Amino acid sequence: MSAPSLLLEVGNTQIETVETLLQVGRYLVIFLAARALAELMVRLGLPTILGELVAGVLIGVTGLHLILPPAVHAELNQGMLALIGNCAGVSPEAVATIYDESFPSLEATAKLGLYALLFLTGLESELDELMAVGRQATTVALTGVVLPFALGTAGLVLLFHVPLFPAVFAGASMTATSIGITASVFGELGFLRTREGQTVIGAAVLDDIFGIVILAVVVALAADGVLSAGPILQLVLAAAVFVGVALFLSRKAAPAFDWVLDRLRAPGEVVVAGFVVLGLCCFVAEAIGLEAALGAFAAGLILSASKHTAAIQQSVKPLVALFATVFFVLIGSSLDLSVMNPLNPDNRDGLVVALFLLVVAIAGKVAAGWSYLSKEKTNRLVVGLGMMPRGEVGLIFLGLGSQAGILSAPLEAAILLMVIGTTFLAPLLLRLALSGVAAPVDGTAEQAA
């Protein structure tokens, strides 16, 4: 059953055929499932990202075993293996071997999607608008990072005796706020341009910066497996310098980028030039011991001041639509939700941990609403609820932590439930909280700024 002996019986062209069928087939399954569930979520008034996650769960290790990262060591769907084996004239066992061997290229595509998504998030950060609500947004963001992180980590260690390192990671995964989901719900309800809306968006951007810095530190520390003050300080410093340089460059380097871009004449120049900056930032971040993901976000920040920002966003969006979907579906597919089955008594402890994380995740962010510094009448509950959805950022944490092999299966599932729960509840609770309030007219936009 070893790989080489199996594949020696198969011709080169047959291997090519199986590879192509598997790669095309996996994309098809991913896109069809993700799209079907995303459409369902849109119709339920829920974020589409929930659909992509659930799609992954349905076709992954918890469900149909169609999309199965080799690391999870489960049996692939026999029907799929037989179908593709028949087309190419090879045995199902050989198909399974080629499946595992060709899976890394799907994971590489998912990573490309992650970088493209963070690049887009950085590009969409309106630094100027952020400065306008700066003081309030900063206190809200800080409280919303510190409370869930401290309560989550401490609770996991003290109440549930989780080892320090996974506990820190789980705590870190609760710091994030999903700009995309918050912005879309506020926009839909007509509250995006209110002072509350602007503050939440500003705080979400800051959360992303804090969160990605924390992530970079946590993942780098995972390499050593110990928590000691020296390396932490060094990494925090490196991350702070890196983000500081990126913010500085977003003021200073964008004109140079525009100057170069204006002189390029071969077609496709906008997307390629954008990707070169993206690649450079990812490379530097990874080379100095941080995460390439931080580099992708920084690249977006740097180019957010370019006069070609809109064109770059336009050309990155199709990549995000395709490859970030692959990223989210792969996360869902690798999670074994059967460890959360409440009918199995062994799972009760894990379920309690999941419930604890969810409560801390909600309470920590809602409390952040009350840290809002303002003498004007403010709907603090709306601010807090707006900070609640973890969405894609929480998932990025989960994906990287699970890649780094830090988390136990029940803790992974608990984090996923926390992310799903907050992302699912935020739009519902926000609609409830705002149901008594009349949607503001357009004029409040100027008033807010």
Give the number of other CB atoms < 10 A from CB of residue 286: 15
For 204, which DSSP code? Answer: H
Q: Which of 294, 319, 330, 382 binds a copy of itself (CB under 8 A)?
A: 319
Of 132, 157, 404, 428, which lies in the binding site for a copy of itself, with binding defined by CB under 8 A?
404
**Closest CB to a copy of itself among residues 51, 148:** 51
Residue 298 interacts with a copy of itself (CB under 8 A): yes or no: no
What is the distance between the alpha carbons of residues 119 and 60, in angstroms, rounded to a whole number?
27
Q: Which is nearer to a copy of itself, 31 or 160 (CB)?
A: 31
* 8 A C-beta contact, residue 208 and residue 177: yes
Q: Quick check: helix, strand or coil at residue 152?
A: helix
Strands (E), 155-307: none
The reply to whether 310 sits near a copy of itself by the rule CB under 8 A is no
Residue 151 is a binding residue for a copy of itself (CB under 8 A): no
Report in angstroms how near the CB of residue 187 gets to a copy of itself at its nearest.
12
Taking Cα atoms as reference points, which of 46, 45, 49, 24 lies closest to residue 35?
49
- The site for a copy of itself, by CB under 8 A, has a size of 65
Distances (CA, A) of 225 to 239, 278, 431: 19, 29, 43
74, 87, 355, 433: which one binds a copy of itself (CB under 8 A): 87
- Interface with a copy of itself, residue 109, by CB under 8 A: yes
Taking the CB of residue 168, how many other CB atoms lie within 10 A of it? 23
Please say which residue, 134 or 318, places its beta carbon nearer to a copy of itself: 318
16 near a copy of itself, rule: CB under 8 A: yes
CA–CA separation, 152 and 167 (whole Å): 8
Sequential DSSP letters for 84-139: HHHHHT--HHHHHHHHHHHHHHHHHHHHHHHHHHHHHHHHH--HHHHHHTHHHHHH
Instruction: Retrieve residue 7's tokens.
Output: 């594949």
Q: Which is nearer to a copy of itself, 184 or 347 (CB)?
A: 184
- Could you give the dihedral angle defined by the CA atoms of residues 165, 171, 175 and 181, in that order, rounded to the nearest 10 degrees? 110
Does 138 contact a copy of itself by CB under 8 A?
A: no
Q: Which amino acid is at 12?
A: N
**Interacting residue with a copy of itself among 3, 6, 21, 363 (CB under 8 A):** 21
Of 204-263, which residues contact a copy of itself (CB under 8 A)? 222-223
DSSP character string of 357-400: HHHHHHHHHHHHHTT---SS---HHHHHHHT---HHHHHHHHHH
Closer to a copy of itself at the Cβ: 261 or 385? 261
* Among 41-49, 122-130, 146-154, 421-429, the segment contacting a copy of itself (CB under 8 A): 41-49
The verdict on 309 binding a copy of itself (CB under 8 A) reads no
Say which amino acid occupies 246. A
Q: For the CB of residue 323, give the shortest distance to a copy of itself in the complex, in Å.
A: 10
Residues 22/81, Cβ–Cβ less than 8 Å: no
Rounded Cα distance, 423 and 394, in Å: 10
Nearer to a copy of itself, 281 or 360 (CB): 281
Contacts of 284 (CB under 8 A, 6+ apart): 242, 295
Please tell me whether residue 13 binds a copy of itself under the rule CB under 8 A: yes
Q: Which of 53, 41, 10 is nearest to 419 (CA)?
A: 53
Cβ contact 388:407 at 8 Å: no
Select from 37-45, 137-145, 354-362, 372-380 the region that touches a copy of itself (CB under 8 A). 37-45
Q: Is 24 in the site for a copy of itself (CB under 8 A)?
A: yes
Check binding of 31 to a copy of itself (CB under 8 A): yes
Closest CB to a copy of itself among 31 and 424?
A: 31
Q: Does 73 bind a copy of itself (CB under 8 A)?
A: no
Binding span for a copy of itself by CB under 8 A among 103-111, 156-164, 230-238, 332-340: 103-111
Nearer to a copy of itself, 32 or 449 (CB): 32
Q: Does 55 bind a copy of itself (CB under 8 A)?
A: no
- In the complex, the residues that contact a copy of itself under the rule CB under 8 A are 11-14, 16-17, 20-21, 23-25, 27-28, 31-32, 34-35, 38-39, 41-43, 48, 51, 87, 102, 104-105, 107-109, 111-112, 222-223, 264-269, 271-273, 275-276, 279-280, 282-283, 286-287, 292, 315-322, 325, 403-405
